[in-house]
Amino acid sequence: MIVRPRENWFRLLFVWNGSVLSSIIPQLCFMAVVSTLAVFTHGKVFGEKIPLNTAPFTLFGVALAIFLAFRNNASYERFNEARHLWGNLLIASRALTSQMLCYIPERVDTLRIAQQTIAFVYAVKHELRGTDPTQDFQRLLGREQAQMMCGQIYRPMAILNEMRRELSIPQHRIHTPDTKLWMLDAQLDELGKALGGCERIASTPIPFAYNVLLHRTVYAYCVLLPFGLVDSTEFFTPLLCVFIAYTLIALEAIASEVADPFSVAPNALALDAMSRNIERSVLELCGCPVPDPVAPVRPYQLT
């Protein structure tokens, strides 16, 4: 995702990175060609006039707008839920680290478990994106344990299980109240719930039939529109049709990007920045050096 500062209204008119315009330029060029042909042929195809006017497009446009709104709402619900789950990862990571430092500081290697907590967060990110976690694992876990974790199929769950195993060791060495172990285990469960929620979103896409129906309907509407407007708008037809097509096709493209919140698309979640934020928060609690945040920069960069 693009990490960007807030922009004023004028700069937003000219933003390129992060908009879907670059990905729909071929479709807009196609619409410009179709609209121009409709103008020069006066709305005729193979010599026959297509009997269309603005009335059916007005009615059909309202229905299409409602369907697009439904599709965008469904996509944004997935995006919003994914963001809440990553917020829960931050909350549980902080709580687990703080509880270890305050309640059992002398009985476990808190820094090691804190690093495992951070490694779990990065493992979730890599699992959702299908990327290689080796570099982050070696940095946080050490070469030996990183190699062991990279050999697992479900790496985040393997790290979580290792954290639970290490937290249970003090019970055998030194008496630790069960309530404290239960409290720590509850935070591990929260991490596991966030992981499961993210996996559910990633493995359950919006039904394919919705995408196909919306895609076909949008393009059919845009292709037929010039033939319905040419008699009333004449030489302004290409301009109007390209603008309307930009709105409809861009909404469809945005919905497709937002529906997959864990991808590296410009409008997906900024998982790199959120992972770094959790790392900074946990390390600060442990009194360790804190890495720099992923900050908005110009020119905009993908992170």
DSSP the chain: -B------HHHHTT--TTSSHHHHHHHHHHHHHHHHHHHHTTTEETTEE----HHHHHHHHHHHHHHHHHHHHHHHHHHHHHHHHHHHHHHHHHHHHHHHHHHSTTTS-HHHHHHHHHHHHHHHHHHHHT---HHHHHHHH-HHHHHHHHT-SSHHHHHHHHHHHHHHHHHHHS---HHHHHHHHHHHHHHHHHHHHHHHHHH-PPPHHHHHHHHHHHHHHHHHHHHHHHHHHGGGHHHHHHHHHHHHHHHHHHHHHHTSTTSSSTTS--HHHHHHHHHHHHHHHTT---PPP----SS--B-
Could you give the percent of the chain with pLDDT greater than 90? Answer: 48
On whether the CB atoms of residues 124 and 82 are closer than 8 A, the answer is: no
Contacts of 164 (CB under 8 A, 6+ apart): 185, 188
- Which pLDDT tens digit goes with each residue over 81-104? 999 999 999 999 999 999 988 887
What is the predicted pLDDT for the residue at 219? 92
Sign (positive/negative) of CA torsion 115, 302, 300, 85? Answer: negative
189 vs 57, more confident: 189
Global pTM value: 0.85
Tens of pLDDT, residue by residue over 105-145, are 666 678 889 999 999 999 999 999 999 999 999 999 988 99
